[in-house]
Amino acid sequence: MSKNLTRRHFVSTVSAGTAGMSLSARSGFGSTVRSESVDQELALLGGKPVRTKSFPSWPVIAENDRKSWKQVLESKNWFRSNGHYVTEFEESWARRLGARFVVATSSGTSALYTSLFALDIGPGDEVIVPPYTFVATINVVLLHHALPVLVDSDRETSQIDANKIEAAITDRTRCILPVHLGGNVAEMDKILEISQKYKLSILEDACQAHLAEWRGKKAGTVGDLGCFSFQASKNLNSGEGGAIASNNAELMKVCSSFHNAGRGYSLAADGKLVRKRNTTFSYERNGDNRRMTEFQGSLLLEQLTRLEEQARTRERNAQYLTRRLNEIPGIIPARQYEGCTRNAYHLYMLRYDRSHFANLPRSRFLEALRAEGIPGSGGYRPLNKEPFLKHTLESRAFRSIYSAKQLAELEERNHCPENDKLCSEAVWFGQSKLLGPQSDMDDIAAAIRKIQKHAAVLVKAG
């Protein structure tokens, strides 16, 4: 087996350039807004901040959330098999996505882990993943004792560079796991084409992409399976929670079964997946408990009533902000591929080019921004340089599955120079900053202009 596993077969890359990228126009807005505040001294140096109001808080709650939550509490049916909220949420989310099936899970990580189980990913397999993602995307591959093969980022979009996927495929590659990072969408046409050519499955990590779309299809329904997270920061939130969406009944039978201790599921006459009830207990396969509670299900049903409107607000504000920021030299908002027909804007992502800011380091730029009343983040660090990956690959399990040569080669293959650069220049604003009035976007743009104008002073001040 090990001989077989070390045989490598690389496929040459097809370079298709970066055609098909949509470019935002750099016109239509003057620099008239708040020019005075831009001229004032930086807040970091004791001046008056551009903004003192806070941004919208997250999550949004109202009477319907309280009522529904209390109903679950008082019903005493907190477990999904005794209640109906989780099942209703699954049906509701499936309708919203245009998917045949949805299985709710305890988290987005659980959804991904369960999906890889259903796709039969295990020791000896390679899964193609982006380096620019939340660590869970890579953790789930390692938890199945498969190898995560990183394909470098496209800095323009912050997504996996689909033009580089083919070069990473070997005879051990089984699955492509694209992430729709920040609610933007990975280049799915190319990913679908490659998956068909090499007979690979596609698992979409749509944990940040609720209601995002690729050519009118919802993110998470383009590949074989798609995963969502409802963790507290996400655009649809129940504290913790997740879901798997798919049109594939066979895969979803396995997902349902695995997430519920291996109990058997079958397809009912009405097209729904149901627990097999012919015997009291029948365990068909190795399974786990990745179930969602009724509390989460009830909350998600209520939160879901606001999702579309919130998505529209984020989209409107983000598009306006992009127009404002495109006027500022050295601020480069993330682009979308032409096939991305809707961006969920879980994150507003841009790149900061310090050469247009008197060489002010990004960390100092973020501090100055925060002082002006605009908290932002520098985003992810390069995951291929984090200790978890090295430690896992050095573990007894991995050393018994893979040869030393194979593991050493993986480290080489996982270099991602473009991603390293992206990690050093990214600036993010979280989704809830996009939920207020348009004037909030003007504040963000004004604060950045102000810092640019006084960048040299700040550099001098140290």
Ligand X SMILES: *Cc1c(COP(=O)(O)O)cnc(C)c1O
One-letter amino acid at 99 equals A
Cross-strand pairs, 218: 213
Long-range contacts, 73-80 (Cβ 8 Å, 24+): 73/295, 75/294, 77/294, 78/293, 78/294, 78/295, 79/291, 79/293, 79/294, 80/104, 80/291, 80/292, 80/293, 80/294, 80/297
Alpha-carbon distance of 127 to 138, in angstroms, equals 9
Interactions with ligand X, residue window 284-313 (CB under 6 A): none
Nearer to ligand X, 242 or 376 (CB): 242
Alpha-carbon distance of 137 to 256, in angstroms, equals 20
Interactions with ligand X, residue window 116-175 (CB under 6 A): 133-134, 136-137
Q: Pick from 68, 109, 153, 237: which binds ligand X (CB under 6 A)?
A: 109
Nearer to ligand X, 365 or 428 (CB): 428
Nearer to ligand X, 133 or 163 (CB): 133
Nearer to ligand X, 113 or 337 (CB): 113
Nearer to ligand X, 50 or 347 (CB): 347
Nearer to ligand X, 26 or 381 (CB): 381
Q: Pick from 108, 148, 220, 226: which binds ligand X (CB under 6 A)?
A: 108
**Number of residues that this document lists for the chain:** 462
In contact, 204 and 219? CB cutoff 8 Å: yes
In angstroms, what is the minimal distance from the CB of 70 to ligand X? 25
What angle (nearest 5°) sits at the alpha carbon of residue 208, between those of residues 134 and 361?
55
For the record, the structure tokens of 108 come out as: 């987005």
**What is the per-residue DSSP string for 281-343?**
--B-S---B-PPPHHHHHHHHHHHHHHHHHHHHHHHHHHHHHHHHTTSTTEEEPP-BTTEEE-
- Across the beta sheet with 213-214, what order do the strands follow? 217-218, 213-214, 340-342
Nearer to ligand X, 208 or 336 (CB): 208
Q: Choose the binding region for ligand X from 113-121, 202-210, 310-318, 411-419 (rule: CB under 6 A).
A: 202-210
- Is residue 419 involved in binding ligand X (CB under 6 A)? no
In angstroms, what is the minimal distance from the CB of 160 to ligand X? 12
Nearer to ligand X, 142 or 458 (CB): 142
Contacting residues for 254 by C-beta, under 8 A, at least 6 apart: 117, 118, 285
Q: Choose the binding region for ligand X from 11-19, 104-112, 377-385, 395-403 (rule: CB under 6 A).
A: 104-112
Alpha-carbon distance of 182 to 121, in angstroms, equals 26
In angstroms, what is the minimal distance from the CB of 185 to ligand X? 13
Cβ-proximal residue to ligand X, closest one: 108
Alpha-carbon distance of 427 to 378, in angstroms, equals 5
- Is residue 343 involved in binding ligand X (CB under 6 A)? no
Q: Which of 103, 175, 105 is nearest to 144 (CA)?
A: 175
Query: How many chain residues touch ligand X (CB under 6 A)?
Result: 14
Q: Pick from 103, 179, 200, 212: which binds ligand X (CB under 6 A)?
A: 179
Interactions with ligand X, residue window 215-254 (CB under 6 A): 229, 231, 242
Instruction: Please report which residue ranges of 199-290 form alpha helices under DSSP H.
Output: 249-259
In angstroms, what is the minimal distance from the CB of 209 to ligand X? 8
- Is residue 334 involved in binding ligand X (CB under 6 A)? no
Q: Which of 457, 435, 426, 360 is nearest to 158 (CA)?
A: 426
In angstroms, what is the minimal distance from the CB of 182 to ligand X? 9
Nearer to ligand X, 108 or 339 (CB): 108
In angstroms, what is the minimal distance from the CB of 31 to ligand X? 35
Interaction site with ligand X (CB under 6 A): 107-109, 133-134, 136-137, 179, 205, 207-208, 229, 231, 242
